[in-house]
Amino acid sequence: MPTLATLAVRFGCELIGDPDHEVDSVATLQNASPRSISFLANLKYRRQLAATRAGAVVLEPRFAAECPVAALVCSNPYAAYARIAAELHPLPAAAPGVHPAAWVDGSASIAPGASIGPGAMIEAGVHVGERAVIGPRCVLMQGAAVGDDTRLVASVTLCRRARIGARVIVHPGAVIGSDGFGFAREPEAWVKVPQLGSVQVGDDVEIGANTTIDCGAIEDTVIEAGVKLDNQIQIGHNVRIGELTVMAGCSGVSGSTTIGRRCIIGGMVGIAGHLTICDDVHITGLTLISHSIRVPGVYSSGWPAEEARRWRRIVARVRRLDSADARRGGPGPSGPGAETSDEGGDAD
Amino acid sequence: MPTLATLAVRFGCELIGDPDHEVDSVATLQNASPRSISFLANLKYRRQLAATRAGAVVLEPRFAAECPVAALVCSNPYAAYARIAAELHPLPAAAPGVHPAAWVDGSASIAPGASIGPGAMIEAGVHVGERAVIGPRCVLMQGAAVGDDTRLVASVTLCRRARIGARVIVHPGAVIGSDGFGFAREPEAWVKVPQLGSVQVGDDVEIGANTTIDCGAIEDTVIEAGVKLDNQIQIGHNVRIGELTVMAGCSGVSGSTTIGRRCIIGGMVGIAGHLTICDDVHITGLTLISHSIRVPGVYSSGWPAEEARRWRRIVARVRRLDSADARRGGPGPSGPGAETSDEGGDAD
Amino acid sequence: MPTLATLAVRFGCELIGDPDHEVDSVATLQNASPRSISFLANLKYRRQLAATRAGAVVLEPRFAAECPVAALVCSNPYAAYARIAAELHPLPAAAPGVHPAAWVDGSASIAPGASIGPGAMIEAGVHVGERAVIGPRCVLMQGAAVGDDTRLVASVTLCRRARIGARVIVHPGAVIGSDGFGFAREPEAWVKVPQLGSVQVGDDVEIGANTTIDCGAIEDTVIEAGVKLDNQIQIGHNVRIGELTVMAGCSGVSGSTTIGRRCIIGGMVGIAGHLTICDDVHITGLTLISHSIRVPGVYSSGWPAEEARRWRRIVARVRRLDSADARRGGPGPSGPGAETSDEGGDAD
């Protein structure tokens, strides 16, 4: 088991406390024992510091004085905690090789150190890189490729020619490379537009459970390196998401929109198609993005809840703004400020 | 086939009609034959009562006089109907044992009366209780546990150490125990925070199709007994949902939020993280909850649709409120009533 | 390889250019080579026409004069392109027969020309039509039926008795026929209402990845012919969707709502239950539909994003409308225009 000194040196912390104290786990401030490391990164939990029984707490210099136990002091406690936790709680290594209850096409190329789990189905021309883990019941369709050290946890579907980089994690139920939503309108039918592109997922990406990423119509849909997507996200065809952008659960991006680097996108955000979002944009949850964003900053359009009767009065008064202005002979529908809220149906 | 007298006695109804009349099915008021039981629980369907040909109708006392056929009278017709329907249309029993096309690790503990269906993949240390049904193509990862009489319909993924109680139903595509969305921010990367907890699902819970429930960061995510979750719901890490709460489809709860008991949450509701919602709260559909709720009641923030040109005028007028007040020297951005609509990205 | 003359004749275009020029692929205007067909259907891309090196471009008559290469002229270039792309890039035919790693119950009826892929699980009484393709890891539960030429791409779950028509495409992770969300309320419990109906999907429907369609409570949920549903859509029990309606990703329809024909529904739209939407309705993205719509037209209620501080001021001013009116002795909560925004929890 590592000592506090070992952890301090390895993860760049200043140690205040017994360098030889051994720890074997992480825990919350409230429930830690002396064998555990805890951390303080969110001020909400500051009150729990005084009573903690942890072996040591990872924290910022300004809290060191109030720490009743050993302290691992650094400028970014949450990141240091993340690395310590990975050290103390390593994922069990998956046994290399192909499970007897998996099926692998003869033309697939599986690196010797890769692990293929029970129920995995691997079609022709698939490539699986070194130390990659293909968990139970994954489906890798023709020509898909998975980079070194990538992990498809379980029940993931990669459609034809989807290309996943190195050190990627894909959570269960995700679908990568399904057809983009493309139909041409005729009077009596919708004609399916073949979706001939694929999906490229860069290195060090994480994709959440039941998230769907559509393939491109001709060229590819691209998720750049270091992007983190939460669960239940929908990415439309020919979207490009820039490096290090993170997106919280249930959000959706319509086709052909480009999102810049280092963006932070909240949950249940809806982004219309054919837009450009620049770098370093922060979008709060339940917001509708219906126009391109060219200036970094924070953008919102969610309405915080009210008690229901009060909300009905608010809605009623806002509606009367429209009638009141009409009676006063106010601006017509195309007056200044008249905007289209037009995140329309993407049947393009 | 049961008689009306049998049903009346078993399900606590007063019978007005022939006690020896036999029935074998349920049907809608409109389409019932004399062999069927129907019910009236929603006033919208009252007009259909007069013309029904059902063998008997389950209804409240105030409608008994207008019922043209036999009546099973009770105070809660919908609940009585539910029990009668389950009696008349029992689910076929699944054959106990392990299907030849399933794969079960030698160290898994499967009760003799449990049923493991084709394509199910059961890893080491898994426990499956008596009369549990693990449907086709389910994946139960290391250390997962399923209680007695629980049914995973098909295509369900339980991640490592997920614990499911008794008499739970999980619908296809649900994922229980995938990693919570935790990343620590550094200048050039997001550092993954290991998600070391699991998920506890209590007895008598129902979880809808393609719903995802993340495991906890250190301690567990908890779904208490009797909770009912619809389809396509996302539950973030370390959420706790109180007993008997129901949530409609496509809603999402960000990490570390606690929801009380007996709450009724509509569809497409977004609930921010680190909040507390007390018991007996009703949230209508498409509402953003960005602050804790401490008082039982009904809460809303959805905007009902308008004809599109009218809507654009409303949006334009609301925007001009901001400019108009600025010209009059009104309150600044931090004035009374200035609130943060901050259901932000949950990259914590 | 086909010539331009062949394509012009087959797909009803007028050819301006060399009839014997051969092409073998499609490409974007920007990246096309002389072996490729490109198209112009969206004015945004008009600037790319002048520099294209495509073998020919499919476009409307008004752009023919500015086309620097051969032109395939027609009134609906996008539809013509769709058909040309399908011709030049046909899907590989799936080999008929049952894959050795599939499992098919002895009582299932599989047409000789159908293709059952690896890991597919087909239960008793299932019917699979001619030239249907059941991709890897699909689950077809008891009594399900799949029509001729229908394709379940991979990882699709059809629940018991789900009936899918001809020439349907279902994308990975979709679940068709899971239980509707039905519970009867008692003081100390929710009583499950058995969901005894099924789902009928008409011919020429397309259903997106991870979309869920619930079975009916007694009668069926119905998706009529020609409907196109994008990814991550939730369809509640006993919904009926009319012919040729299209719906973009992440939208949800609560139970017992009927949607007409040829509707166009944007992304993240929430439609309450027990409503009727007439034909030819267009609903823009992130809109709440809480009342029936009886007049064709365009309907909206999404709020386009603002810079966050401006948004907080807007929210603050809208809230003060309520207080201001109260001080002036304005209309009470049930005054004219007071509406219920009541897309409530669907625990019916």
Contact yes or no for C27/C33 (Cβ under 8 A): yes
C296 DSSP β-pair partners = none
In chain C, the residue whose alpha carbon lies closest to the alpha carbon of A196 is C89
Q: Residue B305: its chain C contacts at CB < 8 A? A: 283, 287-291, 293, 299-301
Q: What is the pLDDT of residues C83-133, one digit of tens each?
A: 999 999 999 999 999 999 999 999 999 999 999 999 999 999 999 999 999
Which pLDDT band holds residue A326 (cuts at 50, 70, 90)? low
Q: Residue C305 and residue A315: Cβ atoms within 8 Å?
A: no
Q: Which of A237, A274, A282, A291 is catalytic?
A: A237
**Shortest CA gap A273–chain B (Å):** 19
Q: Residue B309 and residue A340: Cβ atoms within 8 Å?
A: no
B153 vs A128, B94, B163, C177, C237, CA distance in Å?
31, 11, 16, 11, 17
- Side-chain-side CA neighbours of C296 within 13 Å: the count stands at 7
* pLDDT attached to residue B337: 38
Q: Residue A242: its chain B contacts at CB < 8 A? A: none
pLDDT score of A334 more than 50 = no
Q: Residue C218 and residue B319: Cβ atoms within 8 Å?
A: no
Sequence-distant (≥ 6) Cβ neighbours of residue A222 within 8 angstroms: A199, A200, A202, A239, A240, A241
DSSP SS3 for B326: helix
- Side-chain-side CA neighbours of A187 within 13 Å: the count stands at 1
Cite the active site residues of B: 237
* pLDDT attached to residue B322: 77
Q: Residue A339 and residue B175: Cβ atoms within 8 Å?
A: no
C207 vs A183, B59, C60, C247, CA distance in Å?
13, 38, 31, 10
Q: Residue A101 and residue B121: Cβ atoms within 8 Å?
A: yes
Which pLDDT band holds residue B286 (cuts at 50, 70, 90)? very high
Nearest-angstrom CA–CA distance, A195 and A181: 8
Q: Residue A250 and residue C247: Cβ atoms within 8 Å?
A: no
pLDDT score of B342 more than 50 = no
pLDDT score of B61 more than 50 = yes
> Which of B8-17, B325-334, C244-253 shows the lowest mean pLDDT across its residues?
B325-334
**Shortest CA gap B146–chain A (Å):** 18
Which pLDDT band holds residue A322 (cuts at 50, 70, 90)? confident
Contact yes or no for B341/A302 (Cβ under 8 A): yes
**Shortest CA gap C336–chain B (Å):** 16
* pLDDT attached to residue A341: 35
Q: Residue C308: its chain A contacts at CB < 8 A? A: 282, 284, 297-300
If you average pLDDT over residues C327-342, what whole number do you get? 44
Q: Which residue type does C303 have? A: W
Q: Which residue type does A348 have? A: D
Q: What is the pLDDT of residues A110-166, one digit of tens each?
A: 999 999 999 999 999 999 999 999 999 999 999 999 999 999 999 999 999 999 999
If you average pLDDT over residues B179-201, what whole number do you get? 97
The A127-128 sheet, strands edge to edge: A109-110, A127-128, A145-146, A163-164, A199-201, A221-223, A240-241, A258-259, A276-277
In chain A, the residue whose alpha carbon lies closest to the alpha carbon of B273 is A267
pLDDT score of A325 more than 70 = no
DSSP string, C72-110: EE-S-HHHHHHHHHHHHSPPPPPPSEE-TT-EE-TT-EE
Q: Which among A81, A137, A245, A301 is the top mutation candidate for probing chain B, defined by the most B β-carbons within 10 Å of its own β-carbon?
A: A137
Query: Tokens representing C188?
Result: 């100390």
Q: Which of C237, C274, C282, C291 is catalytic?
A: C237
DSSP string, B281-320: EEE-TT-EE-S-B-S-EEEE---B-EEHHHHHHHHHHHHH
Q: Residue C207: what are its φ and ψ, rounded to 5°?
A: -125, 125
**Averaged pLDDT score across all residues of chain B:** 93
In chain A, the residue whose alpha carbon lies closest to the alpha carbon of B186 is A79
Q: Residue A343 and residue C266: Cβ atoms within 8 Å?
A: yes
* Nearest alpha-carbon partner for A179 in A212, A210, A143: A212
Which pLDDT band holds residue B336 (cuts at 50, 70, 90)? very low
Q: Residue A192 and residue C206: Cβ atoms within 8 Å?
A: yes
Nearest-angstrom CA–CA distance, B193 and B188: 16
Q: Which chains touch A (3 or more CB pairs under 8 A)?
A: B, C
Contact yes or no for C289/C283 (Cβ under 8 A): yes
Q: Residue A76 and residue B155: Cβ atoms within 8 Å?
A: no
In chain B, the residue whose alpha carbon lies closest to the alpha carbon of C281 is B307
Q: Which residue type does C42 have? A: N
Q: Which of C28, C76, C231 sits opposite A178 (nearest CB)?
A: C231
Which pLDDT band holds residue B42 (cuts at 50, 70, 90)? confident
Q: Residue C102: what are its φ and ψ, rounded to 5°?
A: -100, 165
pLDDT score of B339 more than 80 = no
In chain C, the residue whose alpha carbon lies closest to the alpha carbon of A288 is C304
Q: Which of B218, B290, B344 sits opposite A26 (nearest CB)?
A: B218
Would you put residue B327 in left (φ > 0), alpha (ψ -120 to 50) or beta?
alpha
Contact yes or no for A118/A136 (Cβ under 8 A): yes
Q: What is the pLDDT of residues C125-178, one digit of tens each?
A: 999 999 999 999 999 999 999 999 999 999 999 999 999 999 999 999 999 999
Q: Which chains touch C (3 or more CB pairs under 8 A)?
A: A, B
DSSP SS3 for A4: helix
Nearest-angstrom CA–CA distance, A257 and A34: 50
Q: Which among B250, B307, B328 is the top mutation candidate for probing chain C, defined by the most C β-carbons within 10 Å of its own β-carbon?
A: B250
**Shortest CA gap C196–chain A (Å):** 27
Q: Residue C267 and residue A289: Cβ atoms within 8 Å?
A: no
Could you tell me what percent of chain C has a pLDDT over 90?
A: 90
**Averaged pLDDT score across all residues of chain A:** 93
**Shortest CA gap C215–chain B (Å):** 12
Q: Residue B316 and residue A331: Cβ atoms within 8 Å?
A: yes
DSSP SS3 for C62: helix
Query: Tokens representing B15?
Result: 């019978």
Q: Which residue did the predictor score with more confidence, A335 or A309?
A: A309
Nearest-angstrom CA–CA distance, B194 and B175: 18
pLDDT score of C336 more than 60 = no
Tokens 């869920």 correspond to C212
Sequence-distant (≥ 6) Cβ neighbours of residue C255 within 8 angstroms: C180, C181, C182, C214, C217, C236, C237, C238, C239, C273, C274, C346, C348
Q: Which of A139, A190, A311 sits opposite C246 (nearest CB)?
A: A190
Which pLDDT band holds residue C209 (cuts at 50, 70, 90)? very high
Q: Residue A247: its chain C contacts at CB < 8 A? A: none
Q: Residue A234: its chain C contacts at CB < 8 A? A: 230-232, 249-250, 267
Q: Residue A304 and residue B315: Cβ atoms within 8 Å?
A: no
If you average pLDDT over residues A187-205, what whole number do you get? 97
Sequence-distant (≥ 6) Cβ neighbours of residue C224 within 8 angstroms: C202, C240, C241, C242, C243, C245, C261
User: Is the confidence metric ipTM above 0.90 for this complex?
Assistant: yes
Q: Which of A44, A82, A286 sits opposite B288 (nearest CB)?
A: A286
Q: What is the enclosing helix (H) or strand (E) of C308?
A: helix C308-327
pLDDT score of C253 more than 70 = yes
**Shortest CA gap C166–chain B (Å):** 24
Nearest-angstrom CA–CA distance, C149 and C85: 19
Contact yes or no for B117/B138 (Cβ under 8 A): yes
DSSP string, A68-114: SSEEEE-S-HHHHHHHHHHHHSPPPPPPSEE-TT-EE-TT-EE-TT-
Q: Residue C272: its chain B contacts at CB < 8 A? A: 285
In chain C, the residue whose alpha carbon lies closest to the alpha carbon of B152 is C178
Q: What is the enclosing helix (H) or strand (E) of B5?
A: helix B4-11
Nearest-angstrom CA–CA distance, C138 and C130: 17
Q: Residue A179 and residue C172: Cβ atoms within 8 Å?
A: no
Q: Residue A318: its chain B contacts at CB < 8 A? A: 314, 317-318
